Amino acid sequence: MNFWVIALLLSSFALQLPAQTAGETARGFFSREKAIWTSPLRMDRKQVGWLLLAGAGTAGLIAVDREIAEGLPRSKGQLDFGRRFSRVGGSYGLLAISGGVFAAGAIRKDTKLRRVGLASGEAAVHAFVVTYVLKLAGTRERPFLGSGKGNFFSGWDQVKKGDNSFPSGHSMGAWAVASTISHQYRDKKYVPWLAYGVAGAVSMARVAAERHYVSDVVVGAGLGYLIGKFVSGEYKTRHGWLVPQVSPGVSVGGRSAVLTARWELP
C-alpha cells in the first residue's frame, strides 16, 4: 500500500493558502474518514433500497465472474494493455494526476484548481484505506491464484502476499479522483466525460490484465464514486491538507521565546 506516499507528497504542495493548525487538519481528515465508514447508519429508505439493489447486482456479478474471465481472449496484447494502462489507477499514477492539477492551479494562481488537486488526492487516500480494510475482510483470490474460482475468505496467506482481489483498489482510487474532479467542475461538460472515461478504462484494464474480476472493479468504481462525491462536497466548505509554517516570536517582556506552527490549507 502506497497511499501514504500521496498523503506526504501532496502536503508539500499547499502553499499560499489560509492557515490551520495540525490538530484541526488531522481532525478534519479523520472526521471525513469516520463519516465514510458510518454513512450506512445515516441512510434513508430510498438509499437503503438502492443499497440492497446494488448488493443483489454484486451477488449476480460474483456468480458469473469466472465465466466472464474465462471468456476473455487472454492474448498478449490484452494482458500488456491491461497491466500498463492500469498503472494510472495506482498510487503514483493518482499522485501524478492530483499533483498535476494542484501544480496547474499554483502556476495559474487558481485557488479552485489547487483545491481540486488537494481534494482529489485526499479522496484517493480515503479510497485506499477503504480498499485495504475490505480486502482484509474478504480475502478473495485473484483470478490467477489458487483454485482460479475467485473464492472469498481464502486465508491469511493471501493477506500477507497482498493478493486480495475484492474490491479493486485501482478502480476505487481512479473513480474517487474522477468523481472529485467531476463534481467540482460540473459546469464543464467535457470534464466528467474525460475523468470518468479514464477511470472506466482503468477498471477495464484491471480485468484485461487478469488482476481482478468484473465484480471487483464494479464495486470499486461505485465506492470510489461515492467517496469522491463526498470529499468534493466537504472541500467546498471545509479544508484538510497541511504544510508546516513555523513562526518564531518573543513573549511580552522578552523573558521567554515562543514557537508557533501552523499549516497552510486551500
What integer pLDDT is reported at residue 57 of this predicted model? 92
Task: Read off the pLDDT of residues 61-77 as tens digits, 9 standing for 90 and up.
Answer: 988 888 888 888 878 88
What integer pLDDT is reported at residue 105 of this predicted model? 87
- Strand-pairing partners, residue 262, are 245
- The yes-or-no verdict on residue 161 having pLDDT over 80 is no
Q: Residue 144: which of 158, 130, 127, 155 has the closest Cα?
A: 158
- The yes-or-no verdict on residue 133 having pLDDT over 70 is yes
Task: Read off the pLDDT of residues 207-216 as tens digits, 9 standing for 90 and up.
Answer: 888 888 999 9
> In which residue are the cell numbers 494502462 written?
85
Q: How many helices (H) and strands (E) does the chain have?
A: 10, 3
- The yes-or-no verdict on residue 12 having pLDDT over 50 is no
Surface-to-core class of residue 171, CB atoms within 10 Å of its CB (0-12 exposed, 13-18 middle, 19+ buried): buried
Question: Mean pLDDT for the chain?
Answer: 79
Check the CA dihedral 203-204-206-211 and report its sign: positive
Task: Read off the pLDDT of residues 81-93 as tens digits, 9 standing for 90 and up.
Answer: 888 888 888 888 8
- The yes-or-no verdict on residue 200 having pLDDT over 80 is yes
Phi, psi of 249 (to 5 degrees): -165, 170
What average pLDDT does range 92-105 have in this prediction?
88
Tell me if 266 sits within 8 A of 241, measured CB to CB.
yes
What integer pLDDT is reported at residue 7 of this predicted model? 52
Residue 231 neighbours by CB distance under 10 Å: 29
Pick from 22-26, 115-119, 217-221: least confident: 22-26
What average pLDDT does range 36-53 have in this prediction?
90
What integer pLDDT is reported at residue 253 of this predicted model? 52
The band of 8, judged by pLDDT with boundaries at 50, 70 and 90, is very low
